[in-house]
Amino acid sequence: MRKIMQKSAWLKAQGPLVACPVCQAVMTVSETSLVCVAGHRIDLAKKGTANFLNKPVATEYTTPMLAARRRILEAGFFHPFLTAIAAQLRPSDRLLDVGCGEGTPTATLAAGVAAAVGFDISAPAIQLTGGLDTAAFFCVADLARLPFGDDTFDVLVDLFSPGNYAEFDRVLRPGGRLFKVIPAASYLRELREGLYGGTDKATYSNAQVRERFLVHYPRTTVREINNDFALTKAQFADLMAMTPLSWQAPAERRAAMLEHPPASMHVGVELLQVDYCEK
């Protein structure tokens, strides 16, 4: 079956899920489009993705950067913390991946749940999700105005993306669960030291992000997950391309690191987990 038909059948089977980005009414599936009672209409793209933005938003991520990201994620760069989250998912869960990028982590998590949706503000990223072999549904959407009904999801996952906690609370059902992954100070340590050693950019703190989350969700469990990922030279070049950390770095330092890359990269993150979200 063509992908567009697969995804429209999937959407139909979900029942109420999508809220109209214009009038917030429930959208239903009509052939390969989503329509609301007021007649607003969103056509699925060829690969079965949807775009809920009124106008395109330019982001810093280009298709080559996203392709580099996919290669390194497929090699297992995020594997340790994805495994930690996946182990806690239930087969009945409907999951939303916030800021899903090119979708590789969403596809990993989708394997263990009843339904998975990933959204991102980047249209090129969502276009790349079309190449994934997964049951997950992907769309372009705005974090501040999620195109989903109230109480729609059992689980929200936010990997390195900005959060909008009012919207999280709205689309997550009462008692739903939330997993947020933020970089620890040691995240990409070798890259940070190589590019910025001796400057004030050499250190990083996640204190503000963590603090803001804990104020909103006081019953959060914080767990550190550390891993050293062995890199080939080509993988290091991919990592350099995919991370915003490297984009502003001095050209000579970038060149020096590409020539003599570190043998491994530290992936230190904090998993902020809420097991029962109240309204």
Binding site for Zn ion (CB under 5 A): 20, 22-23, 25, 36, 38, 40
First to last CA, the chain: 40
**Residue 35 beta carbon to Zn ion: minimum distance, rounded to whole angstroms:** 8
Identity of the residue, 38 or 234, whose beta carbon is nearer to Zn ion in the bound complex: 38
Identity of the residue, 25 or 67, whose beta carbon is nearer to Zn ion in the bound complex: 25
Cβ 90 vs Cβ 116: under 8 Å: no
**Residue 38 beta carbon to Zn ion: minimum distance, rounded to whole angstroms:** 4
Helix 251-259 crosses helix 189-196 at what angle (to 10 degrees)? 130
**Residue 37 beta carbon to Zn ion: minimum distance, rounded to whole angstroms:** 7
Cβ 273 vs Cβ 219: under 8 Å: no
Q: CB nearest Zn ion: which residue?
A: 20
Could you tell me how many residues make up the chain?
Answer: 279
Identity of the residue, 40 or 94, whose beta carbon is nearer to Zn ion in the bound complex: 40
> Hey, what amino acid is at 5?
M
| Exposure b/e, 85-96, CB count within 10 A at least 16 = b | bbeebeeebbbb
**Residue 39 beta carbon to Zn ion: minimum distance, rounded to whole angstroms:** 7
Helix 233-242 crosses helix 251-259 at what angle (to 10 degrees)? 150
Identity of the residue, 36 or 140, whose beta carbon is nearer to Zn ion in the bound complex: 36
Identity of the residue, 41 or 233, whose beta carbon is nearer to Zn ion in the bound complex: 41
**Residue 25 beta carbon to Zn ion: minimum distance, rounded to whole angstroms:** 5
